[in-house]
Amino acid sequence: MIAIKPHHFVDIITALGEARTQFEPHPYGHAVHLVAAEILGNPGVQLRIELGADNICSPCRHNAGGLCDDTIDTSFRPQAPQSKREWNLRIDRRWCERLGLRQDDCLTAREFCLLIRDRAGDITDIYQEIPPERTAQRQAKLTRGVVRFLASPSNQRKMAEADRNMG
């Protein structure tokens, strides 16, 4: 079972919407590359909603006793807190409210993706501190990522080939 913050799952699916299926190890040492590979490779993998440090955060150099000590760039989101921990918690609480999730809820990656498809709607209020044009781009990528994730493996290959031919 994978413990995951809602926004981490959303970020993985959003990246899939950009046709990104490979994640490289990050200099911070977090485990997004490992968790993303497991989720993208197995839609039936069990997830547990975590609002604190999740499986991605665990090995990160900014994980200080279960609390993130990193900061975020607030230049384009001046209303956001500088603390990445506070920012992530704010976004995760909004995602939980929108999707009807709570700390320790368990569901498969496919079920989580279905919740996003069925309940996400317009996400500008989830990311209200971010300029609307950036959120609109995120929304489009998230929507495409959800379609990709929920598609059959053969459809995923066709979509990836179409993306390569377009670019």
Q: How many domains is the chain built from?
A: 1
Question: For the whole model, what pTM was predicted?
Answer: 0.90
Instruction: Check pLDDT > 70 for residue 166.
Output: no
Spatial separation of the C-alpha atoms in residues 67 and 117, rounded to whole Å: 30
pLDDT in the model for residue 104: 98
Phi, psi of 139 (to 5 degrees): -60, -45
Whole-number percent of the chain with pLDDT over 70? 90
In this prediction, residue 157 has a pLDDT band, given cuts at 50, 70 and 90, of low
- Average confidence (pLDDT) over 158-162: 57
What span, in angstroms and rounded, lies between the C-alpha atoms of 166 and 26? Answer: 28
CB neighbours (10 Å) of residue 58? 14
Residues spanned by the domain of 30:
2-166
Q: Return all residues near 116 (Cβ < 8 A) that are at least 6 apart.
A: 10, 13, 99, 142, 146
For 76-133, write each residue's pLDDT tens digit. 999 999 999 999 999 999 999 999 999 999 999 999 999 999 999 999 999 999 999 9
Mean pLDDT (the chain) is 92
